Amino acid sequence: MLQIHLLCIGKLKERFYTDASKEYEKRLSSHCKLTISELPEERLPDKPSATEIDIALHKEAEKIRANIPKGANLIALCIEGKLSSSEDLAKQMHNWMLTGSSTLVFVIGGSHGLHKSIKDAANLRLSMSKMTFPHHLARIMILEQIYRSFQIIAGTKYHK
């Protein structure tokens, strides 16, 4: 069974996000082994300098790297990533499964994004949109898209 890890900087706090996450975790349980890890976001002052942000992102990158299983395909969610349709993501996931990849790791950064080293290490840089969304909402959106991908691959009517 495909293993999917979702590495997230920051913790879900609002109930509507946690409820949505639990719903997609339940839906995905028959398609993959899903693990969601919440890694702590580095604290920054109210108006951090570029250097302070880079240091924080570097520390977060170390935490992310420590949680990536060996041999996993890494997907970094970032605004400068590739815009992809649901069908394209399903096709990419299906291709990884057909080539023997057993582990996918989706990484969502905190409010300042991801360190360049994580983006550079990624097998795929994926953008959800040119719009900016809260990183907590991005988690729900990628969970839904992963679920949708499995439905597309299976040929169900979920995806219209």
The per-residue pLDDT for range 92-143, each reduced to its tens digit, is 999 999 888 899 999 999 989 999 999 999 999 999 998 888 889 999 999 9
The per-residue pLDDT for range 51-92, each reduced to its tens digit, is 999 999 999 999 999 999 999 999 999 999 999 999 999 999
Handedness of CA 18, 21, 27, 30 (dihedral sign): negative
Beta carbons of 9 and 135 less than 8 angstroms apart = yes
Beta carbons of 136 and 17 less than 8 angstroms apart = yes
Separation of alpha carbons 43 and 112, rounded Å: 11
Q: What is the pTM of this model?
A: 0.94
Question: Is domain 3-154 given the CATH code 3.40.1280.10 in the classification?
Answer: yes
Domain boundary assignment for the chain = 3-154
Strand partners, 134: none
Separation of alpha carbons 11 and 156, rounded Å: 32
